[in-house]
Structure 1
């Protein structure tokens, strides 16, 4: 007895289906080009008819109708556009008709803030006065990039709300920091926030201090070698993941 007759009915059915699939040869797909006659029909009907009707008569998809009309520079008539938008329950604006707004003209969605839509949008949307889970009151502190910061305002814009504590200490004794200058730690220890450890320098000086050019030539060569090694390691890791 052959092995085929020892298979279960389910396995035998799967084997038969697989064999039948191997005998199916799909015809090669050919691109259907637009004929001159089809283009003339599209030019004549596109401005005043819906795309669905044109697509059905030409045996094409709605996307093909829209794409070809766009390449030909065809536009819907104002009357048809008004009808389409009315079916969607929307008013027609100058923007829809490709015209600029006139002085004093109101957009179609004036006064419709918070339009109800399907799903759980209404119950999950932010309510007036909502605060995110990570919100902190004025006076709170945090650490960012190694600097201790204090929240001084609550505008919602972090760069304005959170100010480094060492800057606040300097301004308390010396006034606002002039433009183009910054307050730095003399010994580089960001956690030693005392007035004696602070100095006011220009941003250009700070940039110079933060570059490798302040080091001896031997140390600069070592820093460059370490950087190159790190880049090689990262590239090797990316190639491994790919």
Structure 2
């Protein structure tokens, strides 16, 4: 809808004391078009209109479901999940998936707790050959290929060793200093970008 000068003038006159639903019908536009135009023009509802508490329950009014159980009205019982129902994205134990990080996982349980139900396949393979992964350790791929589950390609290392292997300090000095400069530059850009 195009807002002409005449329509804006009518809106200025009617807006303070009329509900937006009435105005939308009057002008033949949407409810949000009325709200947006009122904001642009800086219009507010009058105190008299607001004192009537439009859109609120009148004092002493009873809701339609007073004294009823939550399932006694409407379609709530009809639309509930049935016992034993599984959602559309449910998978059986043994199902394998690829995560965003490129790690293959296998569903090992159906407790509905994601951390307990899914385990990385390479960790399962390592544990089958060597027992549980010690606390503070992780299983990595020696050749970097995340789809090579050969026991000779899997290695259990401490988290601190993993940090050392992936640290900037393992790079040549020139590259390491360049990476640190890029990080410092990004921090300064982020500081200035924040309000």
TM-score (norm 1): 0.48
Q: Distance in 1 between the 2:121 and 2:130 partners?
A: 14
Q: How is 1:197-212 mapped onto 2 (pairs within 5 angstroms)?
A: 197-212=153-168
Q: How is 1:216-235 mapped onto 2 (pairs within 5 angstroms)?
A: 216-224=172-180
Larger radius of gyration: 1
Output one character per residue of 1:192-230: Cα deviation in whole Å (capped at 9) or x when no partner.
Answer: 111111111112222332332322222123334555787
Q: Distance in 2 between the 1:62 and 1:229 partners?
A: 53
Q: Distance in 2 between the 1:18 and 1:162 partners?
A: 61
Q: Tell me what 1:89 maps to.
A: 67
Q: Distance in 2 between the 1:190 and 1:89 partners?
A: 59
Structure 1 residues 220 and 23: CA distance shift in structure 2, 3 A:
closer
Q: Tell me what 1:130 maps to.
A: 85
Q: CA RMSD, aligned part only?
A: 4.4
Greater RCO between the two (CA within 8 Å, min separation 6)? 2
Structure 1 residues 136 and 19: CA distance shift in structure 2, 3 A:
closer
Q: Tell me what 2:111 maps to.
A: 155
Gaps (5+ residues) in structure 1?
1-14, 33-58, 64-83, 91-111
TM-score (norm 2): 0.58
Query: In the alignment, which of 106, 123, 142 is matched to residue 97 of structure 2?
Result: 142
Aligned residues between the structures: 153
